[in-house]
Amino acid sequence: MPLHLTKVAYGCDSVDTLRERLALRAAHGPTAFLTTRYLPKRHDEIAGGSLFWIVKHQLVGRTPILAFGEAESGKTAIHLEPRLILVQPRPKRAHQGWRYLEGKDAPPDLDSAEAGMANLPPELAGALAGLALL
């Protein structure tokens, strides 16, 4: 089971804003990327993993991680697919930078979750998950 990362989608107040931001990051090439100061120590375990996004204290979606590379000024670039896959919302406290998320603890994709979940607006699904109704 691959290892994943979690990151706060800083400045994104909705899933739609996050989607737009990913599309803008990929405007100049086939992948989106973000930079971080340090290469994750467990980057070999992240092969095939995803970056799970936190919006309003909820894990709401994931973006598959393609590779790690070098960025300017000695930083690390995390290359991502420029798409957002919605997941079953799960409460998650905000944090700075990124954190590891074990595969067994990752929320399932909405497509593979219970029937009808994929049709719920992300905000409603997040509110229901916050009330422990999902």
With cut-offs at 50, 70 and 90, classify the pLDDT of residue 125: low
Q: Write down the pLDDT at residue 63.
A: 95
| Among 20, 13, 21, 92, residue whose Cα is nearest residue 59 | 92
131 or 84, which is more confident? 84
Cβ neighbours of 52 (radius 10 Å): 24
Q: Phi and psi of 76, rounded to 5°?
A: -110, 140
Q: Residues 2-31: pLDDT tens digits? A: 899 999 999 998 889 999 988 887 777 788
Q: Write down the pLDDT at residue 115.
A: 44
Q: Residues 37-82: pLDDT tens digits? A: 999 999 999 988 999 999 999 999 999 999 999 998 899 999 999 8
Provide the CB-side half-sphere exposure for 94 (13 A, CA): 9
In whole angstroms, what is the distance from residue 40 CA to residue 52 CA? 15
With cut-offs at 50, 70 and 90, classify the pLDDT of residue 85: very high
Q: Write down the pLDDT at residue 50.
A: 96
